[in-house]
């Protein structure tokens, strides 16, 4: 089992480039099934979840190869519509393939996606929407068998919760053929807009993305754009992780190739902590105070609220702040697994249901010890905490970290950290 050894206590400074967003890339890779031609995703980070998605694409009959940093996918020979359990279990977002495969093949067979890192993560909203869109769905022996009953559909879906994945799955299903589908209470995350941009390049008509009302008009497969070239948006959560690394070490630096608008809910919290932040074009200049301020109350919300994916990462920084901060995790029902590990390092965090009370240690340092990550963003939080801790911190559970961070240790070492990966 590989691990990171972090020698903490160093003040970070310098610049770091933010790679493209996992949560934009994954649904867009599913969408490459749609055009029956060539797709190039430029500057695609070599993440564990990207390789898991490449395995699904190849299983379906696509050719998927990296040429340098660019991922080339040809979907002209999609020859099957089943996604085997081992492929589905590799990550949660495999469920996104249901919509894309059904659009292309008219049917799809899958199994419930992996989950339970951060909660049950059901897919009831996906299934309910599919049924309303004329899909027959039978579940037997752990398999979900989906079949289009109507060639095209004109309908409106109301999501009882603005689920990112359900919004994406509906968009993918509706994008091929003579469908006109309206999604009400749609997710508004930046990754939804990026997917909509890709689907417009495909030839579908998509309006309202980024708002709670999205309308998708499909395009016939024979009329799709047979060469789609796309560069995804930067990863706002990876950017938040580097901001937290600078904040927790009282550092300063430049965070490059970000999208200012996407960062707003995150930037606001770091400013509340006393960080001085300026953004010009796609460059953020970041200065942290020697001791961070507490933040009264952080509630995770659908976009444009504070993102749940930044909760653990920001909590790490606030664990060393002056005073007490309170978190309310409102999106997932089991996303505090990092807290036990943070407390092993000298943090003082208590949990009561969805509420976490973070009693900052007033600028004193955490202490290095051995910790284990249990989910992706919790892993990021533990690495950030190790940067502050006196002595050595050993972080295990890198199989979670590598799902969404590309080369985090070298990015941090470029800022003056001392992080070594032991395989
Ligand atoms: C996406 O997950 C992201 N993953 C998550 O990022 C992110 O935390 C989440 O959106 C919220 O922003 C990808 O994009 C690959 P949801 P998703 O459907 O689509 C419940 C990371 O760290 N729900 O918006 O699964 C669900 O259990 C990951 O990069 C249902 O109850 O999120 C959760 O409590 C973690 N039924 C809430 O809604 C459903 O059918 C939000 O889920 C679907 C969701």
Residue ranges covered by each domain of the chain: 3-19+234-422, 22-231
Residues 6+ apart with CB under 8 A from 38: 72, 73, 74, 226, 227, 228
Q: What percent of the chain has pLDDT over 90?
A: 90
pLDDT band at 113 (very low <50, low <70, confident <90, very high): low
Q: Is the CB of 139 under 6 A from ligand 1?
A: no
Q: Which of 125, 113, 65, 50 lies closest to 86 in space, CA to CA?
A: 113
Q: Which of 161, 132, 171 lies closest to 148 in space, CA to CA?
A: 132
Q: Is the CB of 167 under 6 A from ligand 1?
A: no
- pLDDT reported for residue 117: 72
pLDDT band at 119 (very low <50, low <70, confident <90, very high): confident
- pLDDT tens digits along 55-82: 999 999 999 999 999 999 999 999 899 9
pTM here?
A: 0.97
* Residue whose tokens read 């995703």: 41
- Ligand 1, atom 18, lies closest to the CA of 163
Q: What percent of the chain has pLDDT over 70?
A: 99
Q: How far is the CA of 162 from the centre of ligand 1 (A)?
A: 9
Q: How far is the CA of 165 from the centre of ligand 1 (A)?
A: 6
- pLDDT reported for residue 116: 56
Nearest 5°: the CA angle 414, 416, 420 is 75
Tell me the CATH number of domain 3-19+234-422, given options 3.40.190.10, 3.30.420.10, 3.65.10.10, 1.10.1740.10: 3.65.10.10
| Sheet with 370-372, edge to edge strand ranges | 370-372, 392-396, 3-7, 419-422
Q: Does domain 22-231 have CATH number 3.40.50.12780?
A: no
Round to whole Å and give the CA distance between 244 and 240: 6
Average pLDDT over residues 328-341: 96
Q: How far is the CA of 209 from the centre of ligand 1 (A)?
A: 18
Q: Which helix (H) or strand (E) holds 422?
A: strand 419-422
Q: How far is the CA of 131 from the centre of ligand 1 (A)?
A: 20
- Ligand 1, atom 14, lies closest to the CA of 23
- pLDDT tens digits along 278-300: 999 999 999 999 999 999 999 99
- pLDDT tens digits along 386-404: 999 999 999 999 999 999 9
Could you give the C-alpha distances from 149 to 68, 139, 153, 188, 303, in angstroms and in order? 42, 16, 10, 29, 34
Q: Is the CB of 26 under 6 A from ligand 1?
A: yes
Q: What is the CA radius of gyration of the chain?
A: 21
Q: Using most ligand atoms within 8 A of CB, pick from 118, 161, 303 the residue to mutate for ligand 1.
A: 161
pLDDT surpassing 80 at residue 114:
no
**What does DSSP say about strands 349-352 and 297-299: parallel, antiparallel, or unpaired?**
unpaired
- pLDDT reported for residue 1: 82
Q: Is the CB of 20 under 6 A from ligand 1?
A: no
Q: Is the CB of 178 under 6 A from ligand 1?
A: no
Alpha helix stretches (DSSP H) within 146-202:
164-174, 190-202
Q: Is the CB of 92 under 6 A from ligand 1?
A: yes
Average pLDDT over residues 83-102: 84
- Ligand 1, atom 31, lies closest to the CA of 122
Round to whole Å and give the CA distance between 421 and 366: 21
- pLDDT tens digits along 125-182: 999 999 999 999 998 777 889 999 988 999 999 999 999 999 999 999 999 999 999 9
Q: Is the CB of 366 under 6 A from ligand 1?
A: no
Q: Is the CB of 380 under 6 A from ligand 1?
A: no
- pLDDT tens digits along 203-238: 999 999 999 999 999 999 999 999 999 999 999 999
Quick one: which atom of ligand 1 is closest to the CA of 127? 40
- pLDDT reported for residue 141: 76
- For 151, half-sphere exposure in the C-beta direction (CA atoms, 13 angstrom radius) is 4
DSSP 21-74: PHHHHHHHHHHTTSSSSEEEEET----HHHHHHHHHHHHHT-EEEEETTEEEEE
**Beta strands per DSSP E along 141-179:** 143-148, 154-158
Average pLDDT over the chain, rounded to an integer? 95
Same fold, 3-19+234-422 and 22-231: yes
- pLDDT reported for residue 283: 98
Q: Is 311 left (phi over 0), alpha (psi -120 to 50) or beta?
A: alpha
Round to whole Å and give the CA distance between 23 and 100: 16
pLDDT band at 118 (very low <50, low <70, confident <90, very high): confident
- pLDDT reported for residue 122: 85
Q: How far is the CA of 27 from the centre of ligand 1 (A)?
A: 13
Which residues are tagged catalytic? 116
Measured over all CA atoms, what is the biggest interatomic distance in the chain, rounded to whole angstroms?
64
Look up residue 278 and give its two tokens. Answer: 């300026």
pLDDT surpassing 70 at residue 115:
no
Q: Using most ligand atoms within 8 A of CB, pick from 311, 331, 376, 379 the residue to mutate for ligand 1.
A: 331
């Amino acid at each position: 089992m590989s691990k990171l050894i972090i020698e903490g206590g160093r003040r970070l400074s310098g610049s770091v480039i933010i790679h493209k967003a996992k949560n934009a890339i994954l649904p867009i890779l599913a969408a490459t099934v749609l055009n029956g031609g060539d797709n190039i995703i430029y500057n695609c980070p070599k993440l564990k979840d990207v390789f898991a998605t490449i395995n699904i694409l190849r299983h379906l009959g696509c050719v998927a190869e990296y040429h340098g940093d660019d991922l080339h996918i040809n979907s002209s020979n999609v020859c099957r519509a089943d996604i085997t359990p081992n492929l589905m279990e590799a990550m949660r977002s495999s469920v996104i393939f249901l919509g894309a495969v059904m659009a292309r093949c008219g049917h799809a067979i899958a199994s419930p996606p992996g989950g339970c890192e951060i909660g049950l993560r059901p897919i009831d909203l996906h299934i309910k929407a599919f049924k309303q869109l004329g899909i027959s769905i039978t579940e037997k022996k752990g398999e979900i068998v989906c079949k289009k009953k109507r060639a095209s559909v004109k309908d409106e879906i109301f999501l009882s919760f603005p689920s990112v994945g359900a919004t994406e799955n509906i968009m993918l299903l509706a994008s091929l053929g003579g469908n006109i589908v309206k999604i009400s209470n749609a997710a508004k995350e930046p990754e939804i807009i990026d997917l909509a941009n890709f689907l417009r390049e495909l030839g579908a008509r998509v309006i309202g993305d980024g708002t709670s009302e999205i309308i998708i008009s499909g395009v016939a497969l024979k009329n799709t754009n047979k060469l789609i070239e796309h560069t995804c948006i930067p990863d706002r959560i990876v950017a938040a992780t580097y901001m937290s690394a600078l904040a927790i070490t009282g550092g300063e630096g430049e965070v490059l190739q970000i999208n200012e608008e996407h960062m707003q809910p995150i930037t606001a919290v770091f400013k509340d902590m006393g960080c001085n932040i300026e953004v010009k074009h796609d460059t953020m200049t970041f200065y942290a105070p020697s001791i961070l301020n507490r933040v009264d109350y952080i509630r995770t919300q659908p976009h444009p609220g504070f993102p749940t994916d930044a909760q653990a990462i920001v909590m790490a920084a606030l664990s060393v702040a002056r005073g007490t901060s309170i978190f309310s995790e409102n999106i997932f029902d089991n996303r505090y697994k990092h807290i036990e590990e943070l407390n092993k390092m000298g943090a003082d965090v208590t949990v009561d249901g969805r509420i976490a009370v973070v009693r900052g240690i007033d600028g004193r340092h955490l202490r290095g010890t051995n910790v284990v990550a249990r989910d992706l963003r919790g892993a990021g939080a533990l690495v950030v905490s190790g940067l502050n801790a006196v002595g050595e911190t050993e972080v295990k559970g890198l199989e979670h970290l590598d799902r969404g961070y590309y080369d985090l240790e070298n990015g941090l070492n470029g800022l003056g950290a001392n992080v070594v990966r032991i395989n």
